Amino acid sequence: MSIDPKQLHRLSAAILSDTLDSLGLMQQAMQPFMRPLDDTVVLAGRARTGLYMPVYAAPAAGENPYEVEIALVDDLRAGEVAVLACDGPTERIAPWGELLSTASRARGAAGCVTDGLVRDVKQIRAMGFAVFCGGIGPLDTKGRARMVERDVPVRCAGVLVRPGDLVFGDVDGVVVVPREAEDEVLRRALEKVTGEDHTRDALARGERLADVFARLGIL
């Protein structure tokens, strides 16, 4: 289905995670070390993936160590999210920074998710580009890591991400909705939002939690 931004921004990572759990998809939330550079941002878009591997020597003369990375960023489309799998936040791999954020934003991309490190944090925050990462560090990837494949299934912060999957992130974390389950997940999640609104209203009126849960079944 096409993504309606107005509907998506009614949702949250927690609601989507609960909905995925209800469908037996219980491994879709990225590990809790994944944090936004700005707690106020909400990220939603389709995954474009990149797979990194460590290297232990400087590139040969004339070799471009950023070739695959550049190709991915230059090919980003509006609403897409760069998902960069680095096998966790080691001290060696910081694949994202200000310039990639600038290029991605110019193409209308929704943001970046990486379980590696991010640098140029002050500049990225200033431009308001949505980035979720495993940590912050100043190191360039040159001579330390390189993207070896793009637009392939990857495992990022413990979650299998395939190109085209829906990626959603907010201050609670990052969840991935598989493309084949997306329609059902979004339908149920939006229903849950409405149910939680009713639950919140009842609790605010002073009704007992046990009574509200017995009536609405939402907690």
The pLDDT score that the predictor gives to residue 2 is 55
Query: Is the confidence at residue 24, as pLDDT, over 60?
Result: yes
| Percent residues over pLDDT 70 in the chain | 95
Beta strand ranges found along 1-96 (DSSP E)? 35-36, 43-54, 80-85
What's the whole-number mean pLDDT along residues 161-181? 97
Min mean pLDDT across 13-27, 87-101, 119-133, 140-154 is at 87-101
What's the whole-number mean pLDDT along residues 47-58? 95
Query: Is the confidence at residue 215, as pLDDT, over 60?
Result: yes
Cβ neighbours for 57, distance < 8 A, ≥ 6 positions apart: 143
What are the start-end ranges of the H helices in 2-152?
A: 5-8, 13-22, 67-74, 98-106, 121-127
Whole-angstrom Cα distance, residue 3 to residue 21?
Answer: 21
Query: Is the confidence at residue 60, as pLDDT, over 80?
Result: yes
Cβ neighbours for 83, distance < 8 A, ≥ 6 positions apart: 47, 48, 49, 50, 112, 113, 114, 154, 156, 161, 167
The pLDDT score that the predictor gives to residue 164 is 97
Query: Is the confidence at residue 6, as pLDDT, over 80?
Result: no
Mean pLDDT score of the chain? 92
The pLDDT score that the predictor gives to residue 78 is 96
The pLDDT score that the predictor gives to residue 5 is 64
Query: What DSSP state is assigned to residue 37?
Result: S
CATH of domain 5-179: 3.50.30.40
What's the whole-number mean pLDDT along residues 123-128? 97
Q: How many CB atoms lie within 10 A of CB 142?
A: 12
Whole-angstrom Cα distance, residue 168 to residue 74?
Answer: 22
Give the pTM: 0.90
Domain ranges of the chain: 5-179, 186-216
What's the whole-number mean pLDDT along residues 115-136? 97
What's the whole-number mean pLDDT along residues 138-144? 92
